[in-house]
């Protein structure tokens, strides 16, 4: 029995789902499974179309890489990978194999269900984001609602749907997926993250001109699901606090507009840096004295930002900007490793940043709670143990 994962990104690419899938695949290989990946080709000549990496078989699909050209380019990227991945899957899958479809590109699980059903394979969905609802909420593309019934059918026909938390699980349940087919497995911090030595973080502060600053950090994808306008509002309210810097590390659809807004407002306390390699992630996350996690209202049951776990793993407090009545907000409050504000509470958010910049004792208390949460939270080995148990149950049937 072979396990075949479909996701647009995998090693050496480094988006969040690529890192999570790489961790899980390698852990499953260590547990004795044969694992294959169907992912997109990064477009670099030195990367082969097929290779084994840490005993994982990687099949890379050549397609467009036009996402920087806007929505049309992103749609082309989705379409070329969708078609190429399903063609590859149809050629390689055999009866009894397990197919695991992630959600990048959106709705690939529908195609995976059709191929798996035709070949006698067993299907799992690993639901990282919930589409088309996310696209409808963010872009108003209500016509995408025509895919909901087919998506729901593909979910219900799977052996198991694995998603990230109770709010997302409730969406699957509402779609008619039986409770026994829904499993909640939270994401995790990238393997190896821990609070680094102060000298390591200090070196990067020197390189980026941040020595002596109180750093409010947002690290990760600057995607449309993240509510970032309130961050600029807080930066504007704190423009007189010369010791405080708002640091964005990452790229994404919102970055150009954010940089333009910062320039228009003349905000000298906002700094942008490009995405950093995973090998330097611990060092980059350690820069922040406090980390930001954000969600636009209406998206809280459709996605769960895994950046929360990275911030906790390096022992940093979290400020969540988003709806209070959601799982992520409740988690931060119940575990006492951060603060929560609605997007309309910009003045309170700015005041909290100012207070934290002067209160090292509170930062230490919140950071210690973050480390406790990280230590108790399941990592890739725990997640792999759960997946391994499901696969072995099928093997025994």
Q: Where are the domains positioned within the chain?
A: 2-188+378-396, 198-376
- Asked if residue 327 lies in contact with residue 167, where contact means CB atoms within 8 angstroms, the answer is yes
Say yes or no to pLDDT of 198 above 70: no
User: Counting Cβ atoms within 10 Å, is residue 21 exposed (0-12), middle (13-18) or buried (19+)?
Assistant: buried
Query: What is the distance, to the nearest Å, from the Cα of residue 395 to the centroid of all Cα atoms in its chain?
Result: 30
- The β-bridge relationship of strands 122-127 and 98-101 is parallel
Cα 259 to Cα 38: distance, rounded to the nearest angstrom: 35
Question: Between the CA of residue 151 and those of 200, 210, 362, 382, what are the distances in Å?
Answer: 47, 47, 46, 29
What pLDDT, on the 0 to 100 scale, is given for residue 199?
Answer: 57
- Asked if residue 42 lies in contact with residue 15, where contact means CB atoms within 8 angstroms, the answer is no
User: Tens digits of per-residue pLDDT, 260-278?
Assistant: 999 999 999 999 999 999 8
What pLDDT, on the 0 to 100 scale, is given for residue 386?
Answer: 97
**Beta strands per DSSP E along 336-386:** 338-341
Out of 3.30.70.1560, 3.40.50.2000, 3.40.630.30, 3.40.50.300, the CATH code matching 2-188+378-396 is 3.40.50.2000
What pLDDT, on the 0 to 100 scale, is given for residue 58?
Answer: 98
User: Tens digits of per-residue pLDDT, 27-39?
Assistant: 999 999 999 999 9
Closest CA to 342 of 295, 290, 299, 307: 295
What pLDDT, on the 0 to 100 scale, is given for residue 323?
Answer: 97
Per-residue pLDDT band for 328 (boundaries 50, 70, 90) equals: very high
**Average of pLDDT values for 208-224?**
95
Cα 205 to Cα 200: distance, rounded to the nearest angstrom: 9
Decide if domain 198-376 falls under CATH 3.30.9.10.
no
Residue 354's contacts (CB-CB under 8 Å, 6 or more residues apart) are 238, 241, 244
Dihedral sign from CA coordinates of 170, 222, 248, 202 = positive
What is the arrangement of strands in the sheet containing 290-294, beginning at the earlier edge strand?
Answer: 270-273, 244-249, 214-219, 290-294, 318-321, 338-341
Q: What three-state secondary structure class fits 227? A: coil
Say yes or no to pLDDT of 229 above 90: yes
């Amino acid at each position: 029995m072979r396990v075949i994962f479909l996701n647009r990104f995998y090693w050496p690419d480094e988006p969040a789902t690529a890192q999570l899938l790489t961790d899980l695949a390698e852990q499953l290989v260590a547990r004795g499974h044969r694992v294959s990946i169907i992912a997109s080709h990064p477009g670099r000549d030195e990367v082969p179309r097929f290779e084994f990496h840490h005993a994982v078989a990687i099949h890379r699909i050549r397609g467009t890489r036009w996402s920087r050209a806007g929505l049309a380019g992103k749609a082309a990227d989705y379409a070329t990978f969708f078609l190429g991945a399903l063609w590859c899957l149809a050629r390689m899958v055999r009866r009894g194999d397990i197919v695991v479809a992630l959600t990048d590109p959106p709705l690939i699980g529908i195609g995976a269900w059709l191929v798996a059903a035709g070949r006698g394979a067993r299907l799992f969905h690993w639901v990282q984001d919930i589409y088309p609802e996310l696209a409808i909420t963010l872009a108003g593309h209500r016509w995408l609602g025509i895919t909901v019934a087919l998506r729901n059918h593909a979910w219900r026909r799977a052996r198991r749907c694995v998603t990230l938390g109770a709010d997302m699980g409730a969406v699957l349940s509402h779609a008619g997926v039986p409770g026994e087919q829904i499993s909640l497995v939270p994401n995790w911090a990238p393997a190896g993250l821990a609070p680094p030595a102060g000298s390591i973080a200090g070196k990067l502060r020197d390189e980026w001109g941040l020595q002596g600053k109180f750093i409010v950090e947002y690290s990760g994808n600057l995607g449309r699901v993240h509510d970032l306008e309130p961050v600029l509002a807080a930066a504007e309210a704190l423009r007189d606090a010369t010791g405080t810097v708002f640091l964005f590390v990452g790229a994404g659809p919102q970055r150009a507009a954010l940089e333009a807004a910062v320039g228009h407002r003349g905000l000298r306390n906002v700094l942008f840096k490009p995405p950093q390699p995973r090998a330097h992630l611990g060092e980059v996350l350690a820069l922040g004295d406090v980390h930001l996690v954000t969600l636009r209202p209406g998206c809280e049951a459709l996605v769960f930002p895994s950046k929360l776990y990275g911030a906790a793993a390096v022992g940093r407090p979290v400020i969540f900007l988003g709806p209070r009545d959601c799982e992520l907000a409740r988690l931060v409050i119940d575990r006492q490793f951060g603060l929560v504000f609605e997007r309309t509470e910009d003045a309170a958010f700015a005041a909290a940043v100012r207070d934290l910049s002067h209160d090292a004792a509170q930062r230490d208390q919140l950071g210690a709670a973050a480390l406790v949460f990280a230590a108790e939270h399941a990592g890739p080995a725990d997640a792999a143990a759960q997946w391994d148990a499901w696969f072995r149950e099928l093997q025994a049937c």
